[in-house]
Amino acid sequence: MTERIELGLKDANAGCACCASPTDAAAAETSQSALARDVFVDGMTCSHCVSSVTDELSSVDGVESVTVSLNAGATSRVTIHSAVAVDPSLIKAAVEEAGYTLAPQPS
């Protein structure tokens, strides 16, 4: 005798990322970090510098993640991901607290 067990899944594509359509997965990822802002920082030379800036920026309310593209001894690009707009003065203060300065965008 074969018994059918109902698991309660009516729509196989609903509810989990592995079965969702690519559009649904992209929308979920976008909603988590809707904003990305690039700032430029002078003076970082090593991974310790990157860690200091990342830690300070990550402590700012609203910041979800920080990515640094290190350009040792020159101007580095720092991308700040957030769900809401972050006050630029808080970003500046965090970078300065780490011991670095904001720079204009390189041309």
Q: Which domains does the chain have, with CATH numbers?
A: 34-103 (3.30.70.100)
Q: Which residues are CB-contacts of 31 (< 8 A; sequence separation ≥ 6)? A: 83
Residue 107: predicted pLDDT: 77
Residue 5 has pLDDT above 80, yes or no: no
More confident residue, 31 or 44: 44
Q: Say how far residue 103 (Cα) sits from the centre of its chain.
A: 20
Residue 17: predicted pLDDT: 45
Residue 11 has pLDDT above 60, yes or no: no
Residue 4: predicted pLDDT: 58
Residue 98 has pLDDT above 70, yes or no: yes
Six token digits for residue 23: 């559009």
Cα 82 from Cα 84, distance rounded (Å): 5
Instruction: Write out the H or E segment, with its range, that includes residue 88.
Output: helix 88-97
The 8-class DSSP code of residue 61 comes to T
Cα 49 from Cα 70, distance rounded (Å): 9
Residue 104's pLDDT band, with cuts at 50, 70 and 90, is: very high
